[in-house]
A and B are shown apart, each in its own frame.
Chain A
Amino acid sequence: MRAGKPISAPVQSAVSELLSELHGASGCEKLGLAPESFAEILADVAMKYLPAEATEAEARTFLLSLRIAELALARACVAGHNTAWELFLIRYREKLHQCALRIAREDSAARDLADSLYAELYGTTTRDGQRVSKLASFTGRGSLEGWLRTVLAQEFVNRYRRTRRLVSLDEEGEEGSQFAAPEPEPVAPPDSRLEAATDAALASLSSEDRMVLASYFLDGRRLAEIARLLAVHESTVSRKVDKLAKSLRKKILANLIQQGMARRQAEEALDVDVRDLRLDIRRSLTQESSPPAFPRKRETRVEALREGQE
């Protein structure tokens, strides 16, 4: 029995119109997937992503944009067709392991990651007597290989989140001092005008700009990586970051002045973060006396992910 949203008429019409063409092009015959099953799959995928008011033309365009051959293969595997499964193993098993190795950077962790995903893809768990396979969630929006990479990456990130919460007591004892950490100096409450001005400036940026800033300054991502994400040249990203940094300063300055701060005061507020100054002084004063309890080096998020899993 089919679960999910009821199929709208435009989608139904588009599926009926394109079924024979898509069924033939996807190789469903060889995989053992019947046209009716395939039509149901297409309708489900369309209803999942298309808005309720989508027209038949939009539904048709959407269906034609799917990776139907890979979708048919994945769903045939879910249905338990041996031919499909054999084909899947030939094409993707080695790639799965290579992707896992590239993500985890360490052989045993990569094997562990790949094997656990492989088991989920095969469907080692059952629900209501039916095998539950992760491949059932593949909808053909992107390539199957890319989807496998994404699922591996999600699993890797999730594992790091789980292990990050657990801290070994031995580690605490080895790296930290035996004495209690010094009381941190009370930080002065941040200037609300500065926060408001910064929030307003950030909100005025486009989501892509904010994504670039977050990737570069928060995640520590390289320009080349960001460029690949956005499909632009590295120098474009470099100029974008420069331009964004400059325009942010200008906007925050303008906002501060608008909120009644004097220009000079606003410029000083921008150039010097009092909290940073205070921290630096404290660090230099306490350097000789006691080492920090848990020294943390600056690292990118991905490096932290990889270290967490070791």
Chain B
Amino acid sequence: MQSIPKFVVKRLQQHLATAESHPDADLLTAFAEHSLKGRERALLMEHLAACGDCRDVVALALPVTESVTLPARNAPGIGWLSRPTLSWAAVSAVILVVTSAAILHYSHRNQAATIASNFMQKDAAPTPYVLDQTLSRHATLPARATPMEPSAALDSQTSTTHKLALEANRVVQPPSSARLSASQVFTVGSGSAGGIGSGSGIGSGSGAGQGVPPRRDSIAQASQDPTVPAQNPAREIHQQVRVGAASTMVEVQAEAATLNPETAPTGQNQIAQNRADLPIQGRAFTDLNVVKAKDPVPPQAAPIGSSAASAGSNVAMQTSSSATLQASPRWTVSPAGTLQRSSDGGSTWQTVDPSASLRVSVARAAVTAQAGPVATDPKKENLNRKTGTAPNPSPVFRAVAAIGLEVWAGASGGLLYHSPDGGNRWLLVAPAEGGTILTGDIVNIQFSDPQHGRIATSTAELWTTFDAGQSWRKQQ
């Protein structure tokens, strides 16, 4: 906090009023209760600027409870579950149960798939029924569910895409025959309250991955085999994250706002669209006073199999077309280290806690065998080992940058959050290159445009991205 020179304080003190007349108790009360308007308020403010006694009286007379901080979540608290400790305990318990069920179910499916494939080898004609059921079954989602669309098809060699649509009690099971490569994409559904299993799928053909069996009959599943059309192609809302060779990103779907059932265009298109929508292109934004974004792009149905991915590179991020904010909000970090957003130009501020609305933590996928295992930070490794536990529930934020609706927030412990829609949904990003991951507290974030950004940490590390955070490089 900036201070003023002592002589200024002394002059301020000398300007104190010594008049005997002071406003009556009614006026002071009306001021404290914000009932005074116009000229009366201005006159009283003039007096208060000069009269310390009246300032003391007004301060003492303020009502006990008065808060202007609005909660980040719109959903009402659920009684005793709204208390942070108990709600986190409930979330952890649910994640644990779901994870265990997922692991059990996954091993069953593996077994079934092995049997099926063995059976198919014996028989000349494959059994499409079994295969179709395994790979491309789409079930009807309940009304509240967030439908999914198949992800963009990857390169044929890296064609495995996992989508985990998560709701309060639902997850999507990845295909049992999925081949994993360096790239894994995890998508978490919106409005989810449960968690998905952890564990890391590594390498090709390992068939590892995460997934938990759905608790209900309906399953939404992405198409893993490009040749198998998805049955419900146009209802994907979720954000998926591609884990590339050069970076590792873990996406966790926060509690979403109202979602548009139509699919969103691919990530690259959306980012390009956002850039085109900006009134001033190429302008360097380093602070929070970003240009007001235009209305969100109407969603378009993404054709199945369309993909911007190339082999060994990062897949385009597929953004959702949720009902985003009409105007770009302003962002700041409070002195207490909380992330705050204002939708009315700074008049009021709401605290936003990305970690509080995280429901799922996806284990970080390792890099390919070529790159070798990731040299992990012990702290983050523990995070990944704990199934379904979200990072520090209340991170201390140190930096934030926003370009339109793209928001990047950095916190202590190397936590980097990204929201593509003005703070409605958040992704937890873990920049990594080769065997190195980002360490230290993130103290500075700069993005000149949605693609190009730079992060500085308290350990004097400098990380840059040129593709909107899909891959990162550590500058030497």
Contacts and interface: CB of A to CB of B under 8 A. Distances in A.
Interface of A: 49, 65, 102-103, 137-143, 146-147, 149-154, 156-157, 161, 190, 194-195, 198-199, 201-202, 207-208, 210-211, 213-215, 217-219, 221, 223, 225, 227-229, 231-236, 238-239, 241-242, 245-246, 248-249, 252, 270-271, 273, 275-276, 301-302, 305
Interface of B: 1-9, 11-13, 15, 24-30, 32-36, 40, 42, 45-46, 48-50, 52-53, 55-64, 66, 68-69, 332, 334-335, 340, 346-349
Given A231-B68, A245-B2, A146 B61 contact: yes
A171 B308 CA distance: 81
Contacts of A217: 3-4, 9, 12
A161 B22 CA distance: 15
A152 B25 CA distance: 10
Nearest to A301: B56
A77 to B, nearest CB: 16
A245 B4 contact: yes
A159 B16 CA distance: 20
Interface of B is mostly: helix
Contact of A236 (B13, B57, B335, B349): B349
Interface of A is mostly: helix
Given A154-B25, A202-B8, A146 B49 contact: no
Contact of B60 (A199, A238, A270, A302): A302
A146 B63 contact: yes
B29 A147 contact: yes
B11 A198 contact: yes
A221 B59 CA distance: 9
B35 A141 contact: yes
Contacts of B6: 273, 275-276
**What 3 A-B pairs have minimum CB-CB distances, sorted nearest first?**
A142-B29, A245-B2, A153-B60
A62 B1 CA distance: 41
22 contacts: A137-B24, A137-B25, A138-B25, A139-B26, A141-B27, A141-B30, A150-B57, A151-B25, A154-B25, A195-B11, A201-B8, A202-B12, A207-B42, A208-B49, A213-B4, A217-B12, A218-B13, A228-B62, A231-B68, A233-B69, A245-B3, A301-B56
B68 A202 contact: no
Given A142-B29, A146-B61, A229-B32, A215 B349 contact: no
Contacts of B24: 137, 139
Nearest to B29: A142
A302 B1 contact: no
Contact of A232 (B61, B64, B68): B68
B56 A142 contact: no
B33 A146 contact: yes
B4 A141 contact: no
A142 B45 contact: no
Contact of B55 (A211, A228, A252): A211
Nearest to B53: A157
Residue among A49, A65, A229, A246 having the largest count of chain B Cβ atoms under 10 Å = A229
Nearest to B13: A218
Contacts of B34: 231
A246 B66 CA distance: 29
A198 B59 contact: no
Given A157-B56, A234-B334, A242 B1 contact: yes
Contacts of B35: 65, 141-142
